[in-house]
Amino acid sequence: MQKTWNNKAWFLVLPVLLLVAFSAVIPLMTVVNYSVQDTFGNNEFFWNGTDWFTEILHSDRFWDALVRNLSFSVIILAIEIPLGIVIALNMPKKGVGVSVCLVLMALPLLIPWNVVGTIWQVFGRVDIGLLGHTLEALGINYNYTQDPFAAWITVIVMDVWHWTSLVVLLCYAGLVSIPDAYYQAAKIDGASRWSVFRYIQLPKMKRVLLIAVLLRFMDSFMIYTEPFVVTGGGPGNSTTFLSIDLVKMAVGQFDLGPAAAMSIIYFLIILLLSWVFYTVMTQSDAEA
Amino acid sequence: MARIDLDHIRHAYGAKPTRESDYALKEVHHSWNDGGAYALLGPSGCGKTTLLNIISGLLHPSEGRILFNGKDVTNLSTQERNIAQVFQFPVIYDTMTVYDNLAFPLRNRHVPEAEVNRRVNEILDMTGLSDMARRRARGLTADQKQKISLGRGLVRNDVNAILFDEPLTVIDPHMKWVLRSQLKRLHRQFGFTMVYVTHDQTEALTFADKVVVMYDGQIVQIGTPAELFERPSHTFVGYFIGSPGMNFMEARVDGTSATVGSQSIALAYAPAVGGAQKIELGIRPEFVRLQREGLPVRIGKVEDIGRQRIVRAEFEGKPLAVVVPEGMDIPADPRVQFDTSAINIYADSWRVGSEG
Amino acid sequence: MLELRDVTKMVAGEYHIHPTSLTLERGSLNVLLGPTLSGKTSLMRLMAGLDRPSSGSVVFDGKDVTGLPVQSRNVAMVYQQFINYPALTVYENIASPMRIAGKDQQTIDKAVRKAADLLKLTPYLDRTPLNLSGGQQQRTALARAIVKNASLVLLDEPLANLDYKLREELREELPKIFAESGAIFVYATTEPSEALLLGGNTATLCEGRITQFGQTISVYRNPADLITAKTFGDPPLNTLPVVKAGTIFRAGAAEIAVPSHLAHIADGPLTIAFQPHHLKRSMEIPAAQALTVRTLISEIAGSESFVHVAFGDARWVMLAHGIHDIDPDQNITLYLDTSRLMAFGPDGRSLAATA
């Protein structure tokens, strides 16, 4: 009896295991394989240990890109999370407004990355774009192909426009699960709007916020498509993030070994930071 | 603390009530004394929570006024009415300590910290939560959380009334006894005006000086626990209070005697039944005795529930419940006797007094 | 017949159910009585096959069903929440288990109408559950459990979310319904009065252990230990730690004469206990022991009163017929019917002579 039980369970997870093996484990091992060898083509490989890793870790190019990545993630988290919360707080809780708002919120999420990039690329162009042209007409110097600051602003605004909705929807789900009695009790206790947020809404949103921060962090740290489409990593190297650099290295220069080493480092950084985020936030959750 | 006047209050949830049945709460016009303990008792959907929310200000009545100590508060918000409320499910601020939870309503009102400290400690003592004052409120048991909810109401000594919305629902039976008697002692000690909503007769009767029985949006009786038990003014009150509820038997009344089936039963008074459609004789199972002498009865099932037995009998073809206390024997071939003074006569569901 | 043989349930290294053996007969009504988190639901999940015991075996009609998942067993369950298919009518809700079993239309119709009649749902068969009162919704869930013709029906606090009076009505009907079906019924509740009203057998639970199992009224009258007696106390059981010295129970300065049925107990420390209605306001029985207590608060519940009193450090409740509104902080004399006294040793076991 015991045996049948166990076998059945294994059969059920087997497809998932196979899928994970083909989609994650095997490609990852391939990359590990490349990262410790050198090749000059012709399928000839030479063992060279940790040389690629050392080279990557000593290159300014890598560190610059990493700093750019971190700054980008910090900036968009600092904008999207508070903005998402504020919008969620102000969304209607009942009536027809709810579905209208939810549909509006979901719209940006339905658009593919490269399309978002293209939209903004056109929108921001000085010659034909509505935004770029208007700003130019107002006398503001805005040209994302020449000015690094303008390029950064464009990429950030684009990401905020694309992804704040996700934070809003998650927060909203957290908010509507708060029973009415909490708000009534707070009214009776004479709590201010800020106290209601601080002691009722925020604690109840904590779990979904944890998920929102994690998702947005991982996603933004892996940003690729939008800057690739809009700025192509420029002007100069100003929007060359790790992922863009990686592709340049691997596809553009065909430096497979360093690129593999870099992607492993990249992967480990994301893993480490996500783990740190998760532990810090769940621990403060347990203490509270 | 305040005296509460409900001045011709009616409430309908729909926008334009046209018929009487559109009102979830039919006209209520009553005064509740300062320092009284009142219970609103009735089945779900009877309008008791509607009435409570009107008093607390969470709901604005369609018609009528509500006064605290003679002052019209109908248009005041919940905060401005200065009341406290304990909900069915404990409402606590998870991230705060027990102490901070209790201090919260005071700090919101900018009470000096020394005074906050004094009052919070007083409440901690009162509710027996002193040991866990510095603990986070999350992770406490349901009854401890409910004590915090209660404590937040008690900590403000200026509240006009404390309202309870089925506060013991999530509490285990054992703890209910403890919390209930604690609440009652607090009331005796401090004399708050309290309004308690419940569907549980034991909670209502044990808590309140005056119980307001509600049915289908209207108040059917306001009375002391004893009055509700001995002289229910409506058959619903007789049925709803007491377990098992009152026995009702269709009867004919002639002067000081009633006839049920073929049996005649003496009454203590001559009820003024007038031209009523339906006349019923009501008697509580506690006042029916099974003895050797009396009227014929058929015994059905006997349920032994420990301290008493409930006998399901049949009298003149109608079901009759009898309560027999522990230690009292049921004779082999029993007959039934009714305690004359405990018989009530109902004409069209309402209790009638004596003629003249 | 359902047998649990030394089953345990461990979660994260802790016992949720300590080794438990229990035999439930066909056609019996079995109440699991205990406070929240005492293990009632865990035990039911083991019986149903929703969880697998960490050790031990579950045997049904002599067949080991330990590893068998719930789908392959003939089990019905009713929960505290009213669980019905919201989009289906009451009729289809009740019929659903038979439709799954592939019964023919005529059999289904007959069974549904019979169950609806039994549970007073006939007028509502065409409505959907959300248009019904809580009581009717729960009746629908019960009817569904009954037509399934399951050999084991588990009810997890089915009346907890209902109004007091509705509970009373259903409680009265349930034993009749159970008696007709012939299945094994298991009914979890936190309320002692509910167990007593339902009758049948009762297993008292405390912290994942069954403390006693037997006929409900006899467990109530003759608890094997103090925990069982307390679990069954509503109002709470009154207790007093005493030292027996010859014919006297000594508690501080107070003395209580040892009643004859406890005379055989050896001298030494023990705990005596009695039900609140065995404490009286007047000396009704000659054998009653007079005790001076201090009143704390009186609660009037119509036909009877609960008077909370302090006797030394002990807190007691007196349940008396009639209205007794006694002011707090009075010294009054109450009379204890010592012929009903229970006694428990320092280990908590009952010291009553086994009859």
Query: pLDDT tens for residues C38-60?
Result: 999 999 999 998 889 999 999 99
Residues of A whose CB is below 8 A from B94: 203, 288
**pLDDT score of B255 more than 60:** yes
Residues B209 and B186 in one domain: yes
Residues B44 and B169 in one domain: yes
Q: Which residue has the higher pLDDT, B213 or A12?
A: B213
Residues C185 and C58 in one domain: yes
Domain stops at, among B179, B205, B235: B235
For C268, other C-beta atoms within 10 Å of its C-beta total 11
**pLDDT score of A1 more than 70:** no
Residues C217 and C285 in one domain: no
Residues B76 and B28 in one domain: yes
**pLDDT score of C354 more than 70:** no
Residue B122 domain-assigned (yes or no): yes
Q: What is the count of structural domains for chain C?
A: 2
Domain stops at, among C203, C231, C259: C231
For A79, other C-beta atoms within 10 Å of its C-beta total 16
**pLDDT score of A3 more than 50:** no
CB contact under 8 A, B205 and C36: no
Domain stops at, among C207, C231, C255: C231
Residues C333 and C227 in one domain: no
User: What's the mean pLDDT in A205-217?
Assistant: 86
Q: Are strands C238-245 and C209-215 parallel, antiparallel or unpaired?
A: unpaired
CA distance C39 to C16: 7
Q: Which residue has the higher pLDDT, A275 or C212?
A: C212
Instruction: Extract the tokens encoding A158.
Output: 């684009």
Domain stops at, among B203, B235, B267: B235
Render pLDDT for B194-213 as a digit per residue (tens, 0 to 9). Answer: 999 999 999 999 999 999 99
- The CATH number assigned to the domain holding C141 equals 3.40.50.300
Residues C98 and C223 in one domain: yes
**pLDDT score of A4 more than 60:** no
Domain that holds residue C73: 2-231
Residues C10 and C84 in one domain: yes
Instruction: Extract the tokens encoding B52.
Output: 């409570």
Residues B131 and B266 in one domain: no
Nearest to A191 among B56, B83, B108 (CB): B108
**pLDDT score of B223 more than 60:** yes
Among C29, C3, C37, CA closest to C196: C29
Residue C355 domain-assigned (yes or no): no
Render pLDDT for A138-190 as a digit per residue (tens, 0 to 9). Answer: 777 777 777 788 788 888 888 888 889 999 999 998 898 888 889 888 888 88
Residues B300 and B265 in one domain: yes
**pLDDT score of C317 more than 90:** yes
Residues C206 and C263 in one domain: no
Give the residue from A1, A4, A12 with the most C CB atoms within 10 Å of its CB, the best one to mutate: A1
Answer yes or no: pTM beyond 0.90.
no
Instruction: Extract the tokens encoding C176.
Output: 């009749």
Residue C353 domain-assigned (yes or no): no
Q: 3-state DSSP call for residue B175?
A: helix
- Report the CATH number of the A62-287 domain: 1.10.3720.10
Give the list of residues 6+ apart from residue C14 with CB closer than 8 angstroms, or none. none
Domain that holds residue B336: 245-351
For residue C228, what pLDDT is reported?
A: 93
Q: C-alpha dihedral over A20, A25, A26, A32, to 10 degrees?
A: 160
Residues of C whose CB is below 8 A from B201: 164, 301-302
Which pLDDT band, with edges at 50, 70 and 90, does A203 fall under? confident
Residue B240 domain-assigned (yes or no): no
- CB C317, CB C307: distance < 8 Å: yes
Residues C222 and C287 in one domain: no
Interchain contact C67–A (C-beta under 8 A): yes
Q: Is the peptide bond before B319 cis (omega within 30 degrees of 0)?
A: no
User: What's the mean pLDDT in C62-77?
Assistant: 86
For residue C150, what pLDDT is reported?
A: 87
Domain stops at, among B186, B215, B235: B235
Q: Are strands C2-11 and B318-325 parallel, antiparallel or unpaired?
A: unpaired
- The CATH number assigned to the domain holding C339 equals 2.40.50.140
Render pLDDT for B120-168 as a digit per residue (tens, 0 to 9). Answer: 998 898 888 888 888 888 888 888 898 899 888 888 878 889 999 988 8
Render pLDDT for B74-124 as a digit per residue (tens, 0 to 9). Answer: 999 888 888 889 988 888 998 899 999 999 999 998 999 999 999 999 889
User: What's the mean pLDDT in B227-237?
Assistant: 93
Residues of B whose CB is below 8 A from A192: 108
- CB A185, CB B165: distance < 8 Å: no
Give the list of residues 6+ apart from residue B335 with CB closer than 8 angstroms, or none. B290, B291, B292, B293, B294, B295, B296, B297
**What ipTM was estimated for this complex?**
0.86
Q: Which residue has the higher pLDDT, B88 or A236?
A: B88
For residue A254, what pLDDT is reported?
A: 67
Write down which chains contact chain B via at least 3 CB pairs under 8 A: A, C
Arithmetic mean of pLDDT over chain B: 89
Residues C10 and C79 in one domain: yes
Residues C260 and C219 in one domain: no
For residue C275, what pLDDT is reported?
A: 92
In chain A, what are the domain boundaries? 62-287
Residues of A whose CB is below 8 A from B136: 288
Residues B27 and B162 in one domain: yes
Q: What is the count of structural domains for chain B?
A: 2
Residues C181 and C85 in one domain: yes
Domain stops at, among C205, C231, C257: C231
